[in-house]
Structure 1
Amino acid sequence: PSHQLLRHTRTYPLCWDAFFGRWRQCQACNWQYSLHWSPSAATRPLAPPTTRNSRRSRARTMAGEHDLGLQPQVIEVEPGQPTAPAVEDADDPGARSGEPTQKAKRVASLDIFRGLTVALMILVDGAGGEWPSIGHAPWNGCNLADFVMPFFLFIVGMAIPLSLKRIPSKLRAVRRVVVRTLKLLFWGIILQGGYSHAPDNLTYGVDLKWIRWCGILQRIALAYLVVALLEICIKNTQPKFQFRNRCSLFRLYCLHWLVAACILVIYLSVLYGTHVPDWEFTVHNIDSQDYGKVFTVTCGVRAKLNPPCNAVGHIDRKVLGINHMYQHPAWKRSKACTENSPHEGPFRRDAPSWCQAPFEPEGILSSVSAILTTIIGVHYGHVLVHMASHRDRLKQWMFMGLTLLISGFILHFTGGIPLNKQLYSCSYVCLTAGAAAMVFSALYVLVDILGLRNLFLPLEWIGMNAMLVFVMAAEGIFEGFINGWYYDNPHNTLVYWIRKHIFIGLWHSRRLGVLLYVIFAQILFWGLVAGILHRLGIYWKL
């Protein structure tokens, strides 16, 4: 086959490993070569020696002449620049890249970040009741639990370029995206649509009159579908050479940012322009003294971001129906509703009626805004694919991450747009996406550059089997099954005995005992289980 090489001006012989399409660092100099073969390429002579100033422009010119990747190319890396290996599908534990030029390496930091997010979800769900400072903020604000959803969306976005780059056919890629979306929707409705198993509830049932259509996996499915299809639309226009300038990536994927701008305009227009009329609801909580009563909430306003009269809730009530919304919103722990805020507690005597109303935290309009987080994550995946050196990647990631963080803080503390997970506000998008960027950048340095991978093995194992751990641990399916086996009394189960006598009883503190139970008996336990499954090559993939 024909070949075309860009070489260093020094007359060092080209390594044979590089000649046959593999990465190799020549002994005589520190330049790296990678040859891309194509049997249909026209034969051309070797490129003449070039000067240092013209090398980069010549490489761009050659790559630009062969947009379809039919001609062989050589990727050069600056002398002294730390280089990163090619990356494979970080969304598929069993994936192996088909690139002939270099051996693909799985991005361990992305797996660890995914595992950290799942572990964080288990922590805040299991210990958030005893430690409300890590649970969801009742309304405005951002606690530890409020980072879980955007972290998931950010990771999904990062994995999209890595998973789709291995699929040559657009039709196959669309089919894969649609199937994954349907699977996510199915599991989301199964797990959160009815009355999912919980450690203290042994019943399960889905009443179609009250089924909840929205949820965590449903929001992820929507964001994944939109952004993945957007990525597929420009798949064949992506060049095969490497970038070093951040502006080049923005120009190449300008369609992504155009869609993001349209989403932002639509979200803000609906949020601030929709008139919210008065609405009513019926209390269906059997434990409430107001059970069966009908209350009317007075609104008749627009551009309000308070709990009862915002456009997010209004759209969900009209489209989904109030009976199909989440019945236990976080605002019940607000100061307006209970004197025990931020803990749960009995309602105040003067609590407004909306404290007992349902609200969908993963609703329609807020899920539209959540797509922005996934688009930002896709950009970070593009950096991973198109930039070769660790230094260039980190410069791009850190700059954008800090910009997003600062923007989020400015929007919140200037009183413009408050941080609000329930509304998925713009400040919340910026702050959480910036935080995700900084966390991933730190993990990338520790794991993929410094090689401290062994310190995070349990999190990496969880990240490689995230769906399994999410279903079994975060959704309480496994504990619900274990609690189905008891002796004499439904509360006399193995789970309750371990939590009460080993953790709470040993430390003589319920708060500390519950926290340690979640860390060791749930997170660490499932990390070890995921490690065993990894050794056996067993993964739950969608």
Structure 2
Amino acid sequence: MAEIKAEPGHHHTLAIPETDISAKKPQKTQRVASLDIFRGLTVALMILVDDAGGEWPMIGHAPWHGCNLADFVMPFFLFIVGMAIPLALKKIPSKAQAVKKVVCRTLKLLFWGLLLQGGYSHAPDKLTYGVDVKMIRFCGILQRIAFAYLVVALAEIFLRLSPSKDVSAGHFSVFRLYCWQWLVGACILVMYLALLYGTYVPDWQFTVLDKNSPEYGKVFSVTCNVRGKLNPPCNAVGYIDREVLGINHMYQRPALRRSKACMENSPYEGPFKTGAPSWCHAPFEPEGILSSISAVLSTIIGVHFGHVLIHMKGHSERLKQWIIMGFALLILGLVLHFTNAIPLNKQLYTFSYVCVTSGAAALVFSAIYILVDIWNLKYIFLPLKWIGMNAMLVYVMAAEGIFAEILFWAIIAGILHQFRIYWKL
């Protein structure tokens, strides 16, 4: 089987949104099948945990510290976006043109994110639409992806260097070639840790604005007056979001309310305990400002894997880089968590969480790469490939609650289309 190489006719589309970069010569382009399948697997995983997470909380988001199956979805998306960035931008010689494409795709992501999660479209089965601008949610999944994509893509455009020699000559040559991108990542990490542990969190109060809550309209106070805490009521992530976004514009039903301190049936949804802490009723933004800054690190790590795919020509060289780095990240994150240095926490997007989820993404992608690009087992993954090639469409349908009704026929249509191309029908 032919390897995936950085040929003039070889490019890949971006995870969400999808790219469409024209080649200089009018020839049929190819896609990196393993990346499409990984993207499709992540979208399918997102739909699974969204639909079944309430019934099986062990696969839903962890209420606070810890990492369940659902907590891998967001970093997997960011990792995929990062991998696709160098593949998508490598054929655009003009920096101005590349910036234009990046900005346009960022704006598209922000538009869809605000539309789907801001409150403009809700309860589609009841045909209720519209938004209360006093309660609109500014942050969300697509907004976080847009931010990470914009930062990392601009760094890729302006900081990448031309290789002076074959980077496959040494295992650290890819790191040296893209040292400025890694410096950006180091600065982001330092800034995140400084704000997370250095920000003073004062006492605060809030009014319950969730109309479905029995505590609607009640005012609660939370005592903090601390610095460097990672508990639900007094962490810097929530404090910065309350100050910048406003508590009305944050997620009203966060996973932290399913913690043991709050609910009788934790980790299941249910009534609050008698005398539950006041912060159990408070909003919290899981895709907020400070945590989104940390989330950029997942995309930067993904970019490195895309660089390896472009510059390393042999399967063994690529896999050696990916697997070693994947295990290194996984071990580092687990050590930080189990030594209580930095706990795993998706809602805070801690550094240990970045390491564990990025390492897992690296190993999952490596396994798919072996199955698809080395063993050529593409056709058993056709449904996932179709989902990955139409990720934005599937995401919108899932968010609108109409995906389940048409998934079956969409997959069938995708399989038939692939077989028609394969057999040239």
Q: Shared topology, TM-score over 0.5?
A: yes
1:89 aligns with 2:9: no
Map 1:138-537 → 2, pairs under 5 A: 138-194=63-119, 196-198=121-123, 201-235=126-160, 237-239=162-164, 241-473=166-398, 475-478=399-402, 524-531=408-415
- In the alignment, what sits opposite 1:123? 48
Query: Residue type matched to 1:85 in 2?
Result: K
TM-score normalized with structure 1 length: 0.73
- CA distance in structure 2 between the partners assigned to 1:301 and 1:201 by the alignment: 45
- CA distance in structure 1 between the partners assigned to 2:407 and 2:165 by the alignment: 41
- CA distance in structure 2 between the partners assigned to 1:201 and 1:328 by the alignment: 21
**Count of residues paired in the alignment:** 415
CA contact (8 A) 1:82 1:390 kept: no
- CA distance in structure 1 between the partners assigned to 2:130 and 2:119 by the alignment: 6
Query: Residue type matched to 2:293 in 1?
Result: V
Quote the offset at 1:332 in angstroms: 1.3
CA contact (8 A) 2:83 2:303 kept: yes
Query: Residue type matched to 2:217 in 1?
Result: G
CA contact (8 A) 1:161 1:231 kept: yes
Map 1:73-84 → 2, pairs under 5 A: 83-84=3-4
Query: Residue type matched to 1:348 in 2?
Result: K
CA contact (8 A) 2:5 2:310 kept: no
Quote the offset at 1:285 in angstroms: 2.3
Deviations 1:421-444, CA, capped at 9 Å, x for gaps: 000000000000000000000000
CA contact (8 A) 2:65 2:345 kept: yes
SS in 2 for 1:470: helix
Deviations 1:104-152, CA, capped at 9 Å, x for gaps: 6421000000000000001000111111111100111101100000000
Quote the offset at 1:353 in angstroms: 1.0
Quote the offset at 1:244 in angstroms: 3.8
CA contact (8 A) 1:119 1:523 kept: no
- CA distance in structure 1 between the partners assigned to 2:267 and 2:209 by the alignment: 23
- In the alignment, what sits opposite 1:4? none
- In the alignment, what sits opposite 1:49? none
Quote the offset at 1:237 in angstroms: 2.7
CA contact (8 A) 2:160 2:177 kept: no
CA contact (8 A) 2:116 2:400 kept: no
Query: Residue type matched to 1:464 in 2?
Result: M
**Cα pair distance change 1:402/1:97, threshold 3 Å:** farther
SS in 1 for 2:129: coil
- CA distance in structure 2 between the partners assigned to 1:276 and 1:238 by the alignment: 47
Runs of 4+ deviating beyond 6 Å: 532-537
**Cα pair distance change 1:450/1:320, threshold 3 Å:** same
Contiguous gaps of at least 5 residues in structure 2:
none
Moved more, 416-425 or 289-298: 289-298
| Larger Cα-atom Rg | 1
SS in 2 for 1:246: coil
**Cα pair distance change 1:186/1:83, threshold 3 Å:** closer
- CA distance in structure 1 between the partners assigned to 2:354 and 2:339 by the alignment: 16
Deviations 1:307-344, CA, capped at 9 Å, x for gaps: 00000000000000000000010011111111111110
**Structure with a larger share of its residues in helix:** 2
**Cα pair distance change 1:187/1:104, threshold 3 Å:** closer
Identity of aligned residues (%): 67
**Cα pair distance change 1:529/1:215, threshold 3 Å:** farther
Deviations 1:189-232, CA, capped at 9 Å, x for gaps: 01101153346543121111111110000000000000000000
Q: Which has the higher contact order (CA 8 A, sep 6+)?
A: 2
